Each structure stands twice: as C-alpha cells, then as structure tokens.
Amino acid sequence: MKKSILLLSAALLGCAPLVRAQDYHLSAPDGKTTVDIRAKGSLQLSVQHNGSAVVPGLRLAMELGDGTALNGESKVRKTQKQSVKETIQAPVAIKNSSISNEYNELRVQYRDHYAITFRVYNDAVAYRFETDFPDSITVKNETCDLQVPAGSEAFFQWADLAFNSYEHLYDKAPLDSLTASRNTQLPLLLNAPGGQKILFTESDLRDYPGLYFTGQGGQTLHGVFPPAVKTERKNDPSDGGWDRNFYPGSTYDYIARTAGKRSFPWRIIALADNDARLLNNEIVYKLGAPSRLQDVSWIKPGQVAWDWWNHWNVTGVDFRAGVNTDTYKYYIDFAARHRIPYIIMDEGWYKLGNILERTPDVDMKAITDYGRQKGVGVILWCVWRTLDEQMEPAMQLFAQWGVKGVKVDFMNRDDQAVVNFYWRCAEAAARHHMLVDFHGAHKPAGILRTYPNVINFEGVAGLENDKWTDKLATPQMAVTLPYIRMFAGPMDYTPGAMRNAQQRDFAAINDNPMSLGTRCQQLAMYVVFDAPLQMLADNPTAYENEKESLDFITRVPTTWDQTIPLDGKVGEYVAMARRKGNTYFIGAMTNWTARDITLDLSFLPAGNHRMVLFRDGVNADRNGTDYKREERSVTRNDKLTVHLAPGGGWAARIE
C-alpha cells in the first residue's frame, strides 16, 4: 500500500501539565460539520451539520472492572490537534483505488491513563477511547448514549445480542420503536426530520465485542454489548448444527478482558444530505488499522463459481452430479472457459467435525491439481469452530494442496471471544497466502484494511434465502442493502440466478432455486454490490444456456478504480456507475414498484462510446426472465430514460 500524507497543521493546544479549557470545538475540513466537546465532568459531544443539530447530545464513558471510570472526572493533561490530508491506495479496491482521507483531529489526554481522540471528516464524525494502563484491564461496560433529533425514523434490524447471523429484514419505524426489550444491530441508518441521513457504525473492532443499540422508547439510543462468554451450551452430535452453533450458556459481568495499553474501536456517525451520498462513503475502511501485510501481491480478487446454492444440479453430463471429484472438475472446466478465477467447494467435502478427513468421493489433490492446470483456484468452505481447533494443521494441509482461500461459516456471534477468532483466522490465512470469505458473520468493521486477504463478508440476507422463503432476498432488500449494510463493507450476497420470477410465480425450491425479481436485477447486482470475491450462484448448465447473461456477468470486475453514485432512495431504487480502467459499468435496480429513472452520463470522458445494455423486457412484469440486450453509441451529453419493471433492473457496459 502506498500512501502520500500531507499534514496541514499539527498544533499542541496545551503543553502545560494541565489544560484549563474544558470545552472544545472541532470542524470538518469543509466547515459544514462541527462538533462541540465537553471533556470535563461528563464526557459529551454534539454534532451540527449545515447548521442543524443532527446529534443534539452523545454521552460517552468507559467503566473498568476495578471501579475506575473513564468519564472526564480526571484532569486533562494535554490536548493535541492536527489536520490530516492523505491518499490511501487500497490493495483491494472495493469502491475506489485511491481513497481521500482528510480530517481534523483532537486528542484529549487525561492524567489517569486514558485519552479520547475525536475526528471530523466532511461526511462523518468519529471518536475512540485509548488507555495506557501497565497491566491488563477488565472493561465492565462502555457508555455510548446518543440523542437524535425528535421525529427521526430508523431502519432497524432487530437482533439477539447472544447469537446473531446478521441476516435480518429492515424495519423502517419511528425511533421510539426502539425500547428496552429490543436490540438493533449496526449499521443503523436514521432519517432526520430535516432530511439529513445519519448512520451509526464502528471500525477497528478487535479484542472487543460488537456494538448494538437499545432504547427507552424516546429519542435516545443506548449502546449495549454482548457480555464476555464464560461457558457455552453443550452440543449434542445427534442434533442439527452440533458442529457449528455454539450458543452462550453463562456469561461474565463484563464485556472484555483486554490489554491495558491499547486503542478501542472507533464509534462512527456518518452524515449525508441525500441517500445517494451514502453509496460512496468509505469511512469504515479509512478508520481500520493500516495493513499488517508487507506483501499483498498474492491477493487476487475475482469471481468464483459456487456449488451449494444450485445444489450441484448440473445436467447433460455422464457422471452422477454431487460432492465428488468429477463434479468439481466440471465446475473447474466451466470456470476456465469463462475466465472465472475460482471455484468454491462448499459443505460436504470433509467429514463434519474434522477438516483433516475428506469424504470418500472427494480427491482433493486431484481437484486442486486439475484446477492449477486450468488456471482456476479452489476455495474451501469450513465451519469456524472446527477450523479454530485445527487451525495450523488445516492451513498447512490446504497450502500443501494449493488451496487459494477459505470460506469460514457460522460464527453467528460477536462477543469478544468470537471477534478474536476473526483476527486469528485472518492472520493464519495470510501467513499461508490464502483469501478469507467470512460467512455467518457480523458486519465488516475495519479488518479488511488491516488484513486485505479478508476479501469478503456475508452478514447479509442474501440470495441463499430464496431457497426456502420469499421474505428476505427480495427486490425491496436489494435496494436497501447498498445504503446501509454495504456502508460497512463488501457483502457476499451471492447473486446470479438464471431462473427469475415475479412474486406471483415464485416458489421456494431448495434444489432448483430461483430469484425474486427480474433477470436484469440479477445482472445489475454485479455492478451495484461491493464484493471483491463475487459469486456466480447458479450452476454451470444454467449459465451455458444463458450465454448473453453469462458474458455480461463475467466481464464485470470485482474491484473498482472509481464509484459514481447516480441516484437512489433507500428501499426504493438505486443507480450507480463504476469505472475500471477505461471501461464503465452502470447498474440500476428497483423494489416491487415499476418506475422510470433518468441516468445522466456526464461522468463519461468526451467522445463516442459503445454501450452494451440489458433492460427489462416488455413482459418482464409477467415473466422475470424477459430481457432485451441492445447496443448503441453514447456520449457524456446523453441522459437516458430507463424503465424498470417491478423487481427490475438495468445494466450496461460502456467501452
């Protein structure tokens, strides 16, 4: 990673042993966002954006197990203020290859072994605690209580603190719906009455539990955390999920036991004047700790042919399809023909509970050798706890086979112990030059910058849900995710269904699944959804029968030089342009409401450009597979009127 850093100013505001001023003011580089900080007596801040109080009050504190309170009662020893303007060159360019990182910062250092750092960006405010105790500490609790403007509404995802897959519907409701009996996960997006968008999340989450919010039915969000786990319920191998679902049994009365000298997770308040501005905000990545990897040349993003969603349901072959060597060689042949760099071998290749023991029909060395000959890498699925218990021998075995990465599943918790697993896994995989795709995972929270081999996260109600329900992976969800879940980082939604249905025709069929919405919505997902490791969820036979769609999909990059939000409204529609080199892509999607939108092509360079587009067919409102492929010449002066069918989409490649 190359960075160019320009420190605009670095001024000590108080070098004397004590600083008398207890209230501080900090502004964004563009001056539109300001923060007032009360650092003595009761730690509080307020945030104003364009003259409006978007966060009237935020109370912060940390309580340690020995009774020590980090709450501003201590003496302020010194303060430091600096302005930073730098460019981050991302080794895995999720949205943009060059990321502008400009902010003003205030660090308030207290006499009693702690400090708080505040940063103000043009589109976000962030703060974090830092401690400097000589020994380890117990964090009993952290206070993060936010007041928001009266009349705000939120997009809640109700969640269980103890066991949470992060795969929930969004419930758009008044803020007072958040009561003491409910918890909502992050990211949390609010619509303020003045039209501002306020999004809360976190970054640099390590050796600490994830943050949630609960409430009292008013205008205050109360931060809560999963407690540290003492024991887990005993798993019975005769029960389903015995190798993967580890529910907490008893817990401690604290949230973390950790090093005394450390920095804690960043708490983030992101701001946007309209919905579309949320689509290109990279504050979570910017606040992640810098990469720990010296050599990142081996990290290769790309697309991957996936087996599990389509249930290995290939046809027209002379072997019995399933979890066996012949089937995976078939997937490798398909991937090689269409320049897809990876295949995934999902559940079934090893004996559950023991990664080191393969199932009888799988010759792993033969499969990986065949993939190497064809230029296709193999990524292996596994359950997190089994991998954790066998980490080093498993990684050594994978390296011996030539495996390129792991898809690690079913963590379903973000208490301190399980958060630490993410970091152990990322580090071990990096040592063996392997990619990591976390499934059954919490939201991304900065680790993608620190370990860029962590190339994707699930933590989303993705296409797999269409195998068993029509309630989750819907067009409504598809045009909500980019503004909220995708704000935190990339998401393994696993698009690519070639059987597409409107609501009245949809049926949840596990072994031969379909998607809700149109074919063109599936194509548009490859442009709109961030996913450096991007799945092709359907089976090779289905794609070979739909060559036009397959050709478009396999030409879409999985990393980008530039992201250009065009238009959108949370839960209604989204339109986005992307650039890779000299090629541009556009994706647009709608919920179940048909609509016409206008795409302004002024982002294009001067001159004539060839566009290949896919639009919903005239009968797509009846048959989700109906589409039209067209070619035309366009310039940057064009404005295109695009019709989206119910659950529809529109996608284009411009060269």
Alpha-carbon span 386 to 353, nearest angstrom: 6
The reported pLDDT for the residue numbered 19 is 39
> What CATH number should be reported for the domain whose range is 302-560?
3.20.20.70
Same fold, 3-273 and 302-560: no
The reported pLDDT for the residue numbered 347 is 98
Which of 278, 289, 102, 128 has its CA nearest to residue 188? 278
Question: What is the DSSP track for 437-465?
Answer: EE-S-----SHHHHSTTEEEE--S--GGG
Which CATH architecture group holds 3-273? Distorted Sandwich (2.70)
HSE-CB at 41 with a 13 A cutoff on CA atoms is 6
| Mean per-residue pLDDT, 467-491 | 98
Alpha-carbon span 82 to 103, nearest angstrom: 9
**Cα angle value 643/535/309 (rounded, 5°):** 95
Q: How many CB atoms lie within 10 A of CB 25?
A: 9
Pair 652, 614: CB distance under 8 Å: yes
Active-site position among 409, 414, 458, 492: 409
Question: What is the DSSP track for 16-56?
Answer: SSS----EEEEE-TTSSEEEEEE-SSS-EEEEEETTEEEEE
Residue 110 clears pLDDT 70, i.e. is over it: yes
| Mean per-residue pLDDT, 69-95 | 96
> Predicted confidence band at 41 (pLDDT cuts at 50, 70, 90)?
confident
| Mean per-residue pLDDT, 272-296 | 98
Pair 454, 448: CB distance under 8 Å: yes
Alpha-carbon span 268 to 288, nearest angstrom: 12
* Beta strands 114-120 and 98-110, pairing class: antiparallel
Residue 147 clears pLDDT 90, i.e. is over it: yes
Helix (H) or strand (E) holding 59: strand 52-64
HSE-CB at 641 with a 13 A cutoff on CA atoms is 2
What's the chain's average pLDDT? 95
409 in active site: yes
Cis-peptide into 187, omega within 30 deg: yes
Domain segments of the chain: what residues? 3-273, 302-560
Tokens of 92: 């895995």
Active-site position among 464, 466, 492, 616: 464
Using alpha carbons, list the distances in angstroms from residue 550 to 256, 547, 581, 584, 615. 48, 5, 21, 18, 15
Strands of 249-404 (E only): list them.
Answer: 256-258, 261-263, 266-272, 302-305, 342-345, 350-351, 354-358, 377-383
The reported pLDDT for the residue numbered 194 is 87
Using alpha carbons, list the distances in angstroms from residue 276 to 165, 287, 567, 577. 27, 21, 6, 12
Question: What is the DSSP track for 490-519?
Answer: --------SSEE-GGG----SSS--EES-H
pLDDT tens per residue across span 207-257: 999 999 999 888 999 999 999 999 999 998 888 899 999 999 999 999 999
* Beta strands 533-536 and 302-305, pairing class: parallel
| b/e sequence 119-139, b meaning 16+ C-beta within 10 Å | bbbebbbbbbbbbebeeebbb
Terminal C-alpha separation, the chain = 29
| b/e sequence 334-371, b meaning 16+ C-beta within 10 Å | bbbebebbbbbbbebbbebeebeeeeeebbbeebbebb
Q: How many CB atoms lie within 10 A of CB 585?
A: 22
Question: Which of the pair, 449 or 74, is modelled with greater confidence?
Answer: 449
Q: At what angle do helices 519-528 and 547-554 cross, to 10 degrees?
A: 10
Query: Which residues make beta-bridge pairs with 569?
Result: 573
Pair 487, 270: CB distance under 8 Å: yes
Task: Give me the phi and psi of 551, to 5 degrees please.
Answer: -65, -40
Alpha-carbon span 110 to 473, nearest angstrom: 48
Which of 302, 376, 312 has its CA nearest to residue 349? 312
pLDDT tens per residue across span 132-144: 999 999 999 999 9
Residue 402 clears pLDDT 50, i.e. is over it: yes
pLDDT tens per residue across span 307-324: 999 999 999 999 999 999
Listed range (12-26, 331-345, 567-581) with the worst mean pLDDT: 12-26
The reported pLDDT for the residue numbered 239 is 85
Residue 13 clears pLDDT 90, i.e. is over it: no
132 in active site: no
Q: Which residues, 6+ apart, have CB-to-CB distance to 626 below 8 Å?
A: 518, 519, 616, 617, 618, 619, 620
Alpha-carbon span 578 to 403, nearest angstrom: 31
Helix, strand, coil % over all residues of the chain, rounded to 5: 20, 40, 45
Residue 579 clears pLDDT 70, i.e. is over it: yes
> Predicted confidence band at 7 (pLDDT cuts at 50, 70, 90)?
very low
The reported pLDDT for the residue numbered 344 is 98
Percent of residues, the chain, with pLDDT higher than 70: 97
